[in-house]
Structures are given as C-alpha cells and as structure tokens.
Amino acid sequence: MVNRKILLCVSGGIAVYKAVALVSKLSQAGAAVKVIMTESARQFVQPLSFQVMSRNDVYFDTFDEKDSSVIAHIDLADWADLIIVAPATANVIGKLANGIGDDMVTTTLLAATAPIWVAPAMNVHMYDHPAVKRNIQQLHEDGVQFIEPSEGFLACGYVGKGRLEEPEKIVELVSDHFTRPKALAGKKVVVTAGPTRERIDPVRFLTNFSSGKMGYAMARAAAEMGAETILISGPVSLQVPKGVKRISVESAEDMLNAVKTEYPDADIVIKTAAVADYRPIHAHSQKMKKQAGGSTIELERTVDILQTLGQEKTHQILIGFAAETNDVAHYAKDKLARKNADYIIANDVSEAGSGFESDSNRVTVYGRNGFERIFDMLPKEQLAQQLLGLIVEREDLHDS
C-alpha cells in the first residue's frame, strides 16, 4: 500500500462520513489519497475534513484549476493507480453507466484508465430498482468492479441491502488488490466463454442462454494474476478485459478448432463456454419458408470439446463447467471422470440469482481424489478470483 495512489470520488449520501474514515485508514496504511467531491457530498461533509485526513487538496469544481500547468480532471485521472467511488449513489452510478460527465467526479471518471471500483450506498428499494440494476449491469460489462453493499439498518429506517461496506473491509480489498501475487506470471491460460450458434439457415440458429459473464470474469482474473490469457468467445457483447486476447468464434466446430490451436502450449484451460451439443445435419443456404403443418430439423452431435481435450491432455490443467438443473453432484462427478478433467465447477442454473445471465453465482468445485469445495453466492468477478486462487494453491503454481 505504501505510495500507492488512490483517488476517492465521493458522492452525496449519509454514508459520506464513512468515506472520511476510509481516507484516514488508507493514509495510515501508507497510500497517497486524493479526494473529489460532488456538490451533494459537500452538503454532508465539508472538504476540510478530507483535506485534513489526506493532507492533499480536495477537488469539487471542474473549473477551479489549482495548478495552471495541468487540466485538473485529466491530471487526477492519470495520477491514480486505483479509483474508488464511495459512497456511490444511484445518481452517480447512472451517470457513469451512460457516459455523462457534468461535474468534477464524472468527467474524471470518464478520463480514467486506472481500475474503477464502485461501492454503492442507497435505500434498499433504490438498489433493487430496475434502472439501477440495469446501470450496474452496464458498468459490470464496462469492466468496473463493485464492492457489494452490506445488509443492515439503513439511515432511512429500512433494514436491507444498501449499507456502504465498512472502511476496514474496503482497505482490506485494496491491500489485497495491490499485494496479490502474480501467481500465473509466465503461464498461458485459455478460457472459453459464451454460447455457440449452430446455423439452421441464414437467419436462424440453435443456441442457449449463456451470457459469457463467468468466462469473461475468469479471463479477467487470470490476466490480473499475470497470465498470458486467451479468451475464445462465442457471440456476446461483453467488453474484452484488459490484457486479454479475444478470439471470436460462432459454432461449436469453430470453438473446437480455436481451442485445439491454443491447447498444446497452454498451462490451464478453463471451459466455461456453453457449447451446443447438437447441430442441424443440413444448414440451408436460403431462408426456410413457412409451410403448412409441422417441420422437422434433423440434428447430429457436435464434437465434445472437453472430452477431446481430456483425451489429448499432456501437462495441462483442464477445468470444465457443469450447468445443471438437478442431481448436480452426480452429473459433475460423472463428467469429471468421463472427460479426464482435473476440476469440474458445477452450479444449479435453476437457482435464483445463479447461472446464466446473472451477475452472481453459487458453485461447487469437484476435483481429483474426491476433492470438493463449496463457494457461496458471490458476484462472478469475485468468484472468479477465488476459483483461480484455489487452483493456484492446489496445483502449487506459486513457485513453478
């Protein structure tokens, strides 16, 4: 933490008082902290409080250039190693998600290239509003990391999710971010993500509900741990994580060929993609026209990519995912054995808040020799970090 440069963006809410404590604790840990406040934040706490705790000027006016040799919001964006928005109101989350830059905080965030962490704090019903959830989802896709609010008694009198995470916990997360070992430096990690599409004709195809979120989270975590990361992705609209090379594919056959090209020198292969099990035997070159009565499409099996990789495995650590709706443990253990995988990460996609298209997941990891580890519901970004941390520990990759 010593000499790490942290820019704290403070928006208006009663939790601003926690942001003062956060600056104090970050400074005590050795970090250099600068603060930008919105106009609403200054209704709760005066800039002087942050100035005393940070021993730096506090910024709140886009047009107040404290140093005429630089443009303040650009200079601050370039200065930071990490940017934290805490507390983050529904208002500032909405602005950032939609690219609005109408004050010092939002213009600086738009100019930033450093990682951005957002720590929401608001009424439980506001946090659950469709518009807020939509904006949070957009920021997830833009690569913003969230510090999930905790549950408890809120200032408005409600009890529920919406409390700004405690300063001690945020400092712990920041410390972990800067001290996390690059355990996968020198390693090549191949991740598959998203659905595949199997064409019926030029306008129709067979596919599934996979959003690619878990795979992209795994790729981001691998890159952050220092790995050369190759992301082989079906058709999704997610932003490619920083430091990750994306190879775009469409069909199961496309994905198979791409994976086999990268497989020989890969160290870890993570198969999160939901690959189609079947494809039409005949893909029509022209659009099929409606006819009276029913219609039948003959299907054939696609090549099982995970099983193929298991058969060809030499030194690779092979990790598969199992999306099930019943008998999860049985199917996962069977898949582990039949496909010669090292780990199967299984989840029940019928569970609310877990699986396809969700931002969170609850999984169980099954490994060789009866290994089993349960991970409770977590945001997929955090879960991905913990899953890769587990693999590093079990495979003793620290010093290899």
Question: Does 267 carry a binding-site annotation?
Answer: no
Nearest to 243 by CA among 258, 260, 261, 225: 225
Q: Which of 1, 156, 247, 299 is catalytic?
A: 156
What are the counts of helices (DSSP H) followed by strands (DSSP E) for the chain? 13, 20
Q: CA 251 to CA 340: how far, in whole Å?
A: 24
Question: Residue 30, class by beta-carbon neighbours within 10 Å (0-12 exposed, 13-18 middle, 19+ buried)?
Answer: exposed
Residue 156 bears catalytic tag: yes
- DSSP for 312-380, written as a single string: H-SS-EEEEEEEESS-HHHHHHHHHHHTT-SEEEEEETTSTTSSTT-SEEEEEEEEGGG-EEEEEEEEH
Residue 347 in contact with residue 332, Cβ under 8 Å? no
Length of the chain: 400
Residue 391 in contact with residue 319, Cβ under 8 Å? yes
Residue 167 in contact with residue 25, Cβ under 8 Å? yes
Helices (H), 1-146: 16-28, 47-54, 72-79, 90-97, 104-111, 124-127, 130-141
Q: CA 101 to CA 78: how far, in whole Å?
A: 17
Question: Does 339 carry a binding-site annotation?
Answer: yes
Question: What one-character DSSP code corresponds to residue 29?
Answer: T
Question: Does 277 carry a binding-site annotation?
Answer: yes
Q: CA 313 to CA 307: how far, in whole Å?
A: 10
Residue 300 in contact with residue 281, Cβ under 8 Å? yes
Alpha carbon 15 to its chain centroid, in Å, reads: 25
Question: Residue 212, class by beta-carbon neighbours within 10 Å (0-12 exposed, 13-18 middle, 19+ buried)?
Answer: buried
Binding site per annotation, positions for CTP: 277, 287, 321, 335, 339
Active-site residues, by number, are 156
